Amino acid sequence: MIRLLVLYGHPKDPAAFDKYYEEIHIPLAKRMQGLRKWTIGKVAGTPNGQPSPYYYIADLYADSREAMDAILATPEGKVAVEDVPKFASGGVTFVYTELEDVI
């Protein structure tokens, strides 16, 4: 399984980020077909109490990198990806990870 980890930096206006993400981005991204799982979450802190470089994280899961690439290449996937710069004023990093269950 492949995971696309989306790491959002701290936005200039957190309230505006939250509102846009919930009201605009999530409905757009939900139109993508083929994801195995999608989780989101606001960063609650770090284990050592230091500030996190990230404000928000999204995890998108697909069966393979090829499957994820195909999902993102659809019209719905392109709309979702092209929407990110409209609200990610703190920057965004996309990282692919191949997942392996350990426990």
Output the pTM of the full model: 0.92
Q: Is the pLDDT of residue 40 over 90?
A: yes
- Say which residues have a Cβ less than 8 Å from residue 42's Cβ, sequence separation at least 6: 18, 55, 56
Mean pLDDT of 62-81: 97
The SS3 of residue 68 is: helix
- The model's confidence at residue 101, banded by pLDDT at 50, 70 and 90, is confident
CATH class of 2-98: alpha beta
Mean pLDDT of 44-69: 95
- The model's confidence at residue 26, banded by pLDDT at 50, 70 and 90, is very high
Mean pLDDT of 80-84: 97
pLDDT of residue 11: 98
Whose CA is closest to 21, among 92, 72, 78? Answer: 92
